[in-house]
Amino acid sequence: MKIRKITLKNWKNFAQLDAEIRDRVFLVGPNASGKSNFLDAFRFLRDLASTGGGFQAAVGRRGGVTAIRCLAARRYPDVTIAITVEDDTDRWDYGLSFYQDNQRRPMVRTERVRRGSQSLLERPTDEDADDPTRLTQTYLEQVNVNQPFRALASFFASIRYLHIVPQLVREPDRSVGRTNDPFGGDFLEQVARTPERTRKARLERIQEVLRVAVPQLEEIELTRDPRGTPHLRGRYQHWRPRGAWQTEEQFSDGTLRLMGLLWVAMDKEGPLLLEEPELSLHPDIVRVLPQMLARVQRRTGRQILLSTHSPDLLRDEGIGLDEVLLLVPKSEGTEVTTAGSHRDIRDLLEGGLSLADAVIPKTRPAEVGQLTLFGDA
C-alpha cells in the first residue's frame, strides 16, 4: 500500500490542505510553516491504529483538540483528516472529523471508510445515536469491528517516524520501557530485538557505508554490558595494530544520526517519515542522501517523506518537481503547493539553476538580514 493523497482541515497550521503524495516527498518551507505538523498528520493515523494508542490517546498526546485545531479555524471548527491509499488492486479512502464536547472529550463527528466504490463504514451509526459515548472511539482502533478494513488499519500502524536525538541514544537507561520512540530513545533496544541473522546483515551494510562517511571506523557490533543493556561498539583505526574500541557514548552526533537513518531505511514496513535527516552530517554526505534513499526504495518499495532546510540535499538532479511540496505561511493558514506549480521555479530551472537555488529562496525570511543587528544597543 502507498499513500496517494491527504486532505486536512483545521489541522494545526493548515486551515485547508489537499496534497498529492508521491513515492518520495520533500517538504520545504520556512521555520514554523508546518513541516513537522504535516508529518504529524501521518503519525496521528499511526497512533489511532497502533496497539496502546487509539483516538483519545492520539488527541491527548497532542494536547487536546484545541491544541490541534488551526488558529485560523472559524465557522467550522471540526478537525478533519482524510487520506487515500492505493495498492495493486484497490483504492482505500479513510476520513475522520472530530471535535471537543462540553466535557472537553474528543468526539468523532464523522468517520468513513471506502474500498473502491464500496462504502464499508459511515458514522455516526444508529448505535452511535443510541449511545453517544461510542463516539469517543474510532472504529479504526477496534479489532472487533474493523475486520472489513483491517488491512488499512495495519497499514496505518506500519507508518514509521524517525528523528534521532543522539543524547537519548547515548543514555540507554532512559530507554527502559520505551517502544517505537520516534526520537531514538529505544534505538539500541530495536537493534538488539532484531533477529541475530538480520541484525548482523544490517550492521554489515551500515559498516560499508560508514567506511565511506567515517573512514576511520572499521567495524561495528552490538554488545551488552553486565546488566544486559545493549550498546553499539565501533573499532576505530588507531596507532595500535588492533585499533581502539568506542561505544555509542563516544560516537559523534553525525555518526549516530547516520546509523539510525541507515538502520530504519532497511525496514520493509510502511511509509517512513524523516525530520531534517541532514542534521549533523557533512554537506557531501547530505548531497547523496536522495540517491541513497532512492536505492532503498527500489529494494524495499516503501514511501519516504522528509522535511528539509538543506540546499545540499535539494541539489540532487534526480528530484522531481512533483516530489517537492513547498509550504508558505499565509494569514489564513499555511498554503501547500508542488514546486512544479510555480512558473518562476520552472523558469529558473530551465535557465540552468538547481532546484535548491530555485526553491530555497522562497523559504527565506523577508527580513533575515535584521538578525545581524541582534545585540546592538
Strand positions, DSSP E, 166-303: 217-224, 230-236, 244-247, 272-275
Single out the residue in 235, 269, 303 at which a domain terminates: 269
The answer to pTM > 0.95 is no
Instruction: Give yes or no: residues 278 and 148 share one domain.
Output: yes
Closest C-alpha among 333, 331, 336, 355 to residue 344: 355
pLDDT for 376: 60
Question: Would you say residue 305 lies in a domain?
Answer: yes
State how far the alpha carbon of 150 is from the alpha carbons of 3, 94, 122, 162, in Å.
Answer: 16, 12, 16, 25
Q: Are residues 153 and 299 in the same domain?
A: yes
Domain annotation covers residue 376: no
Check whether residue 34 and residue 127 sit in a common domain.
yes
CA 104 – CA 66 distance, rounded (Å): 9
pLDDT tens string 251-285: 888 888 888 888 888 877 789 999 999 988 888 88
Q: Are residues 78 and 219 in the same domain?
A: no
* Residue span of the structural domain in which 245 resides: 169-269
| pLDDT score for 175 | 58
**184 and 148 in one domain?**
no
Q: Residue 176 has what pLDDT?
A: 59
Q: Which residues of the chain have pLDDT under 70?
A: 172-179, 238-243, 365-377
CATH number of domain containing 99:
3.40.50.300
Question: Is 252 in a helix, a strand, or coil?
Answer: coil
Burial class of residue 314 in the structure, from the number of CB atoms within 10 Å of its CB (0-12 exposed, 13-18 middle, 19+ buried): buried
At 279, list the grid cell.
542534521
> In this structure, are 110 and 6 located in the same domain?
yes
Nearest to 322 by CA among 338, 337, 346, 307: 338
Look at the chain and report how many structural domains it folds into.
2
> Where would I find the H helices in 119-163?
126-130, 150-157
Question: Do 261 and 293 lie in a common domain?
Answer: no
DSSP-derived letter for residue 147 is G
Same domain (yes/no): 287, 255: no
Residues 30, 132 within the same domain: yes
Domain closes at, from 269, 288, 321: 269
Q: Which of 269, 290, 307 is the last residue of a domain?
A: 269
Closest by alpha carbon to 248, among 161, 179, 180, 173? Answer: 173
Residue 374 in domain:
no
Q: For residues 101 and 286, what is the distance between their CA atoms, to the nearest angstrom?
A: 47
Residues 6+ apart with CB under 8 A from 171: none
DSSP string, 71-99: TT--S---EEEEEEEE-SS-EEEEEEEEE
